[in-house]
Amino acid sequence: MPRDLPVGNGTLLVNFDRAYNLCDVYYPHVGQENHTNGNPCRFGVWCDGQFAWLSDQGWELDLRYEEGSLVTRVTAQHGGLRLRLHCMDAVDLGRNLYLKRVVVENQAHQARDVRLFFHFTCYLWGNNVGDTAYFDPRNRALVHYKGTRYFWVSGQHRGEFGLKSYATGVKEANGLEGTWRDAEDGLLSRNRIAQGSVDSVGALHMEVPAGGSETAYFWLGAGRSYYEIRELDQLVRQRGPEVFITRTRDYWRCWLRCRERPSADLPPAAIALRDRSLLILRSQIDDSGAIIAANDSDILRFGRDTYSYMWPRDGALVAYALTVAGYAEMPRRFFDLCARIILREGYLLHKYNPDGSPGSSWHPWASPDEQLNLPIQEDETALVTWALWQHFRRFQDLDMLRPLYRPLVRAPGDFMARYRDARTGLPAPSHDLWEERRGIPLFTVATVWAGLRAAAAFAEALGEGAPATTYRRAADEIKAAALLHFWDDVRGRFARMVTVDADGHLERDMTVDASLYGVWAFGMLAPDDERVVSTMRAIAEHLAVRTPVGGIARYERDAYHQVAQDVATVPGNPWFISTLWLARWHVARARTREELSPARELILWTLRHALPSSVLPEQVHPFTGEPLSVSPLTWSHAEYALAVHEYTERYAALEAAPAARPTVAAPARGAARRREPATSPGGLAAAGAPVSSPAPASGDGSAPGEAAETPLPSPASRSEERGDERVEPPLAQT
């Protein structure tokens, strides 16, 4: 079941599913140590002798967020109970404290006794062995602990703090389902302690007047000791729970207002989804810097593993989206983490746990003949260096760069320059971005080219001419080899991957794959290069899902979560990232506002297929539009925020132009396909162009939508974006 409502603060993340069960409690890292192990923590109501969990039939649920914040706004209506609940959920911005406010609206004509039940199921450290739950009479709270993980459940109604009733008990043992069953008669057993596989329920009782309402609060504190969680409870008692909800709402609204962007001709709902995407991105990022792919633990049921890892590729692309949106701190933490975990040989591994330790992997270290076979996706290393360059261009932060230069520029630059196929000059084989096949994918080639160009730009900016020349030469050789080996004249498009056998024979994989967008997205070719145009048109034609749902599949005959065998109609399930890549290409090559129309339609497709809460999953069912795989997927939200940013920037630039420019006709085959980029005196093209420039990419290593004419200013003359103070040139050997 998708996670419709994630709320968190960078160390504590809680997720609600579609039935409004609290299903995931991650602490102390976003994505690591799920203390419910994906099992539901229920919320229930008893009134007039009737009981209902909110996940039961009979409730009409509307799950949304407060506008511009990471505070939920949930309405639950039950006709049989004649009750309407208005709920808010928040994780405090600065403390490991989850709070729930419940306004109970009595729709009957007489006052009634209403009881609310908050259930917490215990899998501390991610397992249900050796947990303890007990009632603390000093504070009328429930305490759960194992080792150095403590959780505290309490509540408040009408100024009275502490739980009115409680129960602890055993679950999933000796035929017992759990203590939550104890609540269903409206009375709790008041069992004081339980050990092993345990859960608990706390209750608040209230008298709700006829046609009136009453407000109650519950909170869950997380910490490493009893005293830490008790101090959280004391703070709530001193200040009141509403203070923490209000300040959290205000903080997130301020966080967004600081980065307001124009809306172009997009409807307000599309702009609101962009803002929601930025907030959801933040909820999926650990304060240590790990950008987590997804934290929907339901995926455990398929392969006994999760998406709660940091893939350096996903992280780099999310960091780039945040960079262009104007957020500096979260990308900086990501780069700091990458600098700590990159191997001394200069490459990053498959994926990492939120704490930076290596994650699980299915990429072998040995080839079939038992030779060393690096278990990497080289694009993950390349994109970190590329994203760091985009961040540096945006913020010009030399102090940030100094400790990162060696581990994230020189080491990976040296690795990418030498880790190449001797026969073709292309990058050596590695796993593709979908982690399904090994060879030399065009996406990887394009990102390695961009990573080497970024490394060359850094080296030149810091006065290191020799490595700059090495990286630039390697990039040039890789590009020449890519245009030679990947282009297929017969089909008139690029191959997605090539493989070279032991005898040097090269074979092209001509499967149409949305990842081919990388050939222009990172600047290797311009988006209006005729080879790019024909390739992107093949994506639009061959990967279109021809059902009422629509969208763009990942690649032809995609079997992941496949629901249809008719590949002519459904080449694969529609993915948000692949659909948005096509939208971004239309933006990048548009020369008139009319040419933005296809991009606008794809952006609105995304809006239509978001969950009511505005969450974007990885993919959707091609016939029903229901979410498939994990939800939310961090990458989906990053691509949406980036697509809307690029769209609004291009729209504004075209609107400001004195006259609409005609579309540039594609050159005839065999003619010069693009103009060469202008270069700085040191040979670098477009190194200092601003990220938000609306000019098209032109094959110079800039990100899509960036200008390609402005050379990099020397460090001595570059002034900081935040003021006029000059920045001193860095040391040549940082």
**Mean pLDDT value of segment 204-220:** 98
Number of neighbours of residue 661 by Cβ within 10 angstroms = 11
For 267, 330, 624, the CA distances from 308, given in Å and listed in that order, are: 33, 18, 27
Q: List phi, psi (to 5°) of 551.
A: 90, 180
**Mean pLDDT value of segment 104-108:** 97
Answer whether residue 537 shows pLDDT above 70: yes
CA distance 181 to 200: 10
Element (H, E) at 3: strand 3-8
CA distance 421 to 501: 11
> What pLDDT band is residue 732 in, cutting at 50, 70 and 90?
very low
Burial class (CB in 10 A: 0-12, 13-18, 19+), 85: buried
Please, how many CA atoms are within 13 Å of residue 262, restricted to the half-sphere of its CB? 12
Predicted local distance difference test score (pLDDT) of residue 297: 86
Answer whether residue 653 shows pLDDT above 60: yes
- Amino acid occupying residue 7: V
Q: In sequence order, what are the residues at sequence separation of 6 or more whose Cβ sits closer than 8 angstroms to the Cβ of residue 361?
A: 349, 350, 351, 375
Pairing of strands 22-29, 32-34: antiparallel
For 334, 427, 583, 657, 685, the CA distances from 681, given in Å and listed in that order, are: 33, 28, 35, 30, 9
CA distance 283 to 258: 18
Q: What is the 3-state secondary structure (H, E, C) of 690-701?
A: CCCCCCCCCCCC
For 217, 589, 637, the CA distances from 597, given in Å and listed in that order, are: 48, 12, 21
Residues of the chain with CATH 2.70.98.10: 3-256
CA triplet 93, 614, 103: central angle to 5 degrees?
A: 60
Burial class (CB in 10 A: 0-12, 13-18, 19+), 77: middle
Q: Could you tell me the pTM of the whole model?
A: 0.90
Tokens of 129: 């062995």
Predicted local distance difference test score (pLDDT) of residue 705: 42
Render the burial of 697-706: b for 16+ CB within 10 Å, e for the rest. bbbbbbbbbb
Sign (positive/negative) of CA torsion 450, 452, 458, 460? Answer: negative
CA distance 75 to 15: 17
pLDDT digits (tens, 9 = 90+) for 1-14: 689 999 999 999 99
Judged by phi (left if over 0) then psi (alpha if -120 to 50, else beta), residue 550 lies in left
Identify which has the larger pLDDT, 517 or 730: 517
> What pLDDT band is residue 658 in, cutting at 50, 70 and 90?
low
Average pLDDT score over the chain: 90
CA distance 368 to 375: 13
pLDDT digits (tens, 9 = 90+) for 329-342: 999 999 999 999 99
Predicted local distance difference test score (pLDDT) of residue 433: 97
- Amino acid occupying residue 346: G
pLDDT digits (tens, 9 = 90+) for 439-477: 999 999 999 999 999 999 999 999 999 999 999 999 999
CA distance 115 to 662: 68
The CATH architecture annotation of domain 259-656 reads Alpha/alpha barrel (1.50)
> Could you tell me what percent of the chain has a pLDDT over 90?
85
Identify which has the larger pLDDT, 713 or 96: 96
pLDDT digits (tens, 9 = 90+) for 599-643: 999 999 999 999 999 999 999 999 999 999 999 999 999 999 999
Report the interhelical angle of 634-656 vs 268-283 (nearest 10°): 140
Identify each DSSP E strand in 434-518 by its residue range.
Answer: 438-441, 487-488, 493-494, 497-500, 506-509
Predicted local distance difference test score (pLDDT) of residue 411: 98
Closest CA to 479 of 522, 508, 514: 522
For 77, 122, 129, 464, the CA distances from 198, given in Å and listed in that order, are: 31, 6, 9, 61
Q: Out of 3.90.650.10, 3.40.50.1820, 2.70.98.10, 3.40.710.10, which CATH number does the structure's domain 3-256 have?
A: 2.70.98.10
**Mean pLDDT value of segment 113-118:** 98
> What pLDDT band is residue 527 in, cutting at 50, 70 and 90?
very high
CA distance 209 to 616: 40
CA distance 542 to 528: 20
> What pLDDT band is residue 263 in, cutting at 50, 70 and 90?
confident
Number of neighbours of residue 103 by Cβ within 10 angstroms = 14
DSSP per-residue codes, 178-214: -GGGGGGGS------EEEESEEEEEEEEEEE-TT-EE
Identify each DSSP E strand in 398-480 by its residue range.
Answer: 430-431, 438-441
Predicted local distance difference test score (pLDDT) of residue 174: 85
Predicted local distance difference test score (pLDDT) of residue 700: 47
Number of neighbours of residue 584 by Cβ within 10 angstroms = 24
CA distance 243 to 252: 14
- Helix residue ranges per DSSP H, 285-396: 300-303, 312-324, 329-341, 378-395
Predicted local distance difference test score (pLDDT) of residue 80: 95
Tokens of 30: 């976003």
Answer whether residue 241 shows pLDDT above 70: yes
Burial class (CB in 10 A: 0-12, 13-18, 19+), 386: buried
> Could you tell me what percent of the chain has a pLDDT over 70?
89
Residues of the chain with CATH 1.50.10.10: 259-656
pLDDT digits (tens, 9 = 90+) for 12-45: 999 999 999 999 999 999 999 999 999 999 999 9
DSSP-derived secondary structure letter, 66: -
